[in-house]
């Protein structure tokens, strides 16, 4: 059956392709994975025990390692996942043994505005319904592990309030004396539920928990998810979970999951979640799906485990970073690559004419509303002005020692003159360039991109980290603002300045990587500053520490860890065909 994405919705393309999907067992055999190293989840999904595979074949790297990132996006996104899948399919068309690595979609965006994260058109991960609606349960496991920690904390606070030290000692407990004003952890739910951002719990009698202020964040923003993405194996996961600080005592001492004796049970909930899920592209290439998105306050990458597994099994591995190069690639470059020990051979920078016009001053792109005609008619002046943002992201990637491949993700409204202008701007900046029509044509439409990436992988690069972890935290934050974002410096609130000084005095924390939390819609902290902002400073209002994940998080601006649901969410269009049981309306 010929699939035409111009006449079909993404879910219809995915559904029509299901009849020709390859059995997971066939992909497993081609990858060289043996019995005992994988478990089937139906006909088309499999969980792979990466630890067993790597013990047998060795953790040494075999494949060329490619990261896909993007320019600063509009509210609609610019197609990183679609490009990732298109590149996987294009490399497959060139006869390469290629593996894709992407993140699992969050239920919040899937049922809200953005939709799933499967890709689109003829560049998708399938089966779409399984991917979008829970997959093999990893996000549920993260939700449960997170909430078990909260259950343990609130229960402990209740019992310490209601009983004396002798009662506690009889049960093998030591008083933790948690300060209810300094609780650091929250409950998790994988929906966009703005009404649960700030709540009060424990209202009732003395047996109804400890009454205090609390709240929810979306599961993919949980430190537990960040730990899943960054852990090397189950042992590392177990150790990181034990270091999570859930609160502070009244004397200022950290209260950890280890103190609550809940860390082992949390790990038990995640034993299966540490194993990547094997899926496939529409053209039958293997794709590992693991960990979840959220690059504001976490690293926003698929897992270290999946990437290391893929690099041991494939000749080419295509992974993806969340948001734009200032957020996703920077964290890939300076955090994820430190954890994994892998360094990229090539970096693809995705751009669209739509986003470049937005940065050039076109009316704002708003999710759920029609595009302004400026986006669908030729306008070279807007486009050229917006290319300032593209050049900034080229510079970011070059700062890491890698020459990027700029990929213009083709839209049918692009004109030849517009595409030629972006090509000239990219090549003038020293980047390779390719137009990719993977959404419409799949791997065939991505051949130009695939060939450019193969060539980039064969070229030497001088990849190096931005900073040494021995440098003071303040110096590293300043360098990131100046050399990555293009700002003039950092301004700290009094609270943030005091916290940073305390953190620097702790030798373990002082050497942790920096993970800046800011908006994804600008190189700066202000989403209204589009293009390539100049003469601005980053205002840091707080500095958080994720001891489990191993991150110091300067917070710039108001970052919502629980997104809100829009007035026109995707769930209004999702339904089930009651005759066949098939889900329709996903995108």
Cβ-count burial of 284 within 10 angstroms (0-12 exposed, 13-18 middle, 19+ buried)?
A: middle
- Does the annotation mark 439 as catalytic? yes
- Residue carrying the six token digits 């799906």: 289
User: Is the separation of the CB atoms in 76 and 375 below 8 Å?
Assistant: no
Helix (H, G, I), strand (E, B) or coil at 584: strand
Q: Going by C-beta distance under 8 Å and a sequence separation of 6 or more, which residues neighbour residue 578?
A: none
Q: Which of 439, 413, 435, 437 is nearest to 424 (CA)?
A: 435
Please report, for the chain, how many H helices and E strands are present, in that order: 21, 24
- Which listed residue (80, 186, 336, 532) is catalytic? 80
- Does the annotation mark 295 as catalytic? yes
Give, to the nearest 10 degrees, the angle between helix 380-399 and helix 416-428: 30
Identify the DSSP state of 259.
T
- Does the annotation mark 103 as catalytic? yes
Sign of the alpha-carbon torsion through 93, 95, 96, 97: positive
- Which listed residue (323, 332, 433, 587) is catalytic? 323
Q: Going by C-beta distance under 8 Å and a sequence separation of 6 or more, which residues neighbour residue 571?
A: 111, 112
- Which listed residue (111, 185, 411, 433) is catalytic? 411
- For the beta carbon of residue 297, count every other beta carbon within 10 angstroms: 23
Pairing between β-strand 405-409 and β-strand 432-436 as defined by DSSP bridges: parallel
Chain-centroid distance, C-alpha 541: 24
Chain-centroid distance, C-alpha 29: 29
Please give the Cα distance from 363 to 374 (Å, whole number): 8
Q: CA triplet 177, 224, 550: central angle to 5 degrees?
A: 80
- Does the annotation mark 61 as catalytic? no
- Which listed residue (69, 72, 82, 129) is catalytic? 82
Please give the Cα distance from 263 to 356 (Å, whole number): 46
- Which listed residue (103, 156, 238, 476) is catalytic? 103
- Which listed residue (130, 247, 291, 295) is catalytic? 295
- Does the annotation mark 14 as catalytic? no
Q: What does the block give as tokens for 435?
A: 């137009």
Please give the Cα distance from 132 to 85 (Å, whole number): 16
- Which listed residue (47, 114, 238, 308) is catalytic? 114
HSE value, Cβ hemisphere, 13 Å, CA-based, for 136? 25
Q: Which of 286, 256, 290 is nearest to 273 (CA)?
A: 290
- Does the annotation mark 411 as catalytic? yes
Among all residues, which ones are annotated catalytic? Answer: 80, 82, 103, 114, 295, 323, 411, 439
């Amino acid at each position: 059956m010929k699939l035409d994405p111009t006449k079909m919705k993404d879910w219809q393309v995915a559904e029509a392709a299901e009849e020709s999907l390859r059995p997971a067992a066939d992909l497993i055999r081609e990858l060289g994975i043996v019995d005992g190293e994988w478990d089937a989840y139906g006909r088309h999904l499999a969980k792979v025990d990466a630890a067993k595979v790597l013990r047998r074949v060795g953790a040494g790297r075999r494949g060329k390692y490619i990261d896909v990132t993007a320019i600063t996006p509009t509210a609609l996104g610019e197609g990183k996942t679609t490009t990732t899948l298109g590149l996987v399919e294009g490399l497959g068309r060139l006869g390469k043994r290629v593996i894709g690595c992407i993140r699992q979609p969050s239920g919040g965006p899937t049922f809200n505005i953005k939709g799933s994260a499967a890709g689109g058109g003829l560049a998708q991960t399938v089966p779409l319904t399984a991917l979008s609606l829970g997959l093999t349960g990893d996000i549920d496991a993260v939700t449960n592990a997170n909430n078990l920690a909260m259950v343990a904390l609130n229960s402990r606070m209740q019992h310490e309030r209601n009983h004396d030290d002798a009662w506690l000692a009889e049960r093998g407990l030591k008083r933790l004396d948690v300060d209810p004003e300094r609780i650091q952890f929250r409950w998790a739910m994988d929906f966009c539920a703005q009404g649960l951002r700030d709540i009060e719990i424990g209202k009732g009698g003395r047996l109804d928990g400890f009454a205090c202020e609390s709240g929810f964040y979306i599961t993919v923003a949980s430190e537990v998810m960040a730990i899943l993405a960054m852990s090397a194996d189950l042992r590392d996961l177990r150790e990181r979970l034990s270091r999570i600080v859930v609160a502070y005592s009244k004397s200022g001492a950290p209260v950890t999951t280890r103190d609550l004796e809940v860390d082992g049970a949390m790990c038990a909930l995640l034993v299966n979640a540490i194993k990547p899920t094997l899926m496939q592209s529409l053209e039958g290439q293997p794709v590992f799906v693991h960990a979840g998105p959220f690059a504001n306050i976490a690293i926003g990458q698929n897992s270290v485990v999946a990437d290391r597994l893929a690099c041991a099994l494939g000749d080419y591995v295509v992974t993806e970073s969340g948001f734009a190069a200032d957020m996703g690639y920077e964290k890939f470059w300076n955090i994820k690559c430190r954890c994994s020990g892998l360094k990229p051979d090539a970096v693809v920078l995705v751009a669209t004419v739509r986003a470049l016009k937005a940065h050039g001053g076109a009316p704002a792109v708003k999710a759920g509303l029609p595009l302004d005609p400026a986006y669908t008619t030729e306008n070279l002046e807007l486009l050229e002005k917006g290319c300032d943002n593209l050049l900034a992201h080229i510079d970011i990637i070059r700062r890491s020692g890698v020459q990027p491949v700029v990929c213009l993700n083709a839209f049918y409204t692009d004109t030849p003159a517009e595409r030629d202008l972006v090509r000239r701007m990219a090549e003038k900046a020293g980047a390779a360039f390719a137009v990719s029509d993977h959404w419409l044509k799949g791997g065939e439409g991505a051949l130009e991109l695939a060939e450019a990436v193969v060539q980039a992988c064969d070229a030497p690069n001088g990849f190096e980290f931005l900073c040494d972890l021995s440098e003071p935290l303040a110096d590293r934050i300043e360098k990131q603002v100046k050399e990555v974002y293009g700002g003039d410096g950092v301004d700290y609130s009094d609270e943030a300045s005091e916290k940073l000084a305390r953190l620097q005095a702790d030798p373990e924390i002082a050497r942790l990587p920096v993970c800046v939390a800011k908006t994804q819609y600008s190189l700066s902290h202000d989403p209204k500053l589009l293009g390539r902002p100049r003469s601005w400073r980053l205002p840091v209002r707080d500095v958080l520490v994720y001891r489990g994940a191993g991150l110091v998080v300067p917070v710039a601006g108001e970052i919502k860890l629980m997104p809100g649901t829009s007035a026109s969410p995707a769930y209004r269009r999702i339904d089930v065909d009651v005759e066949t049981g098939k889900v329709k309306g996903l995108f």
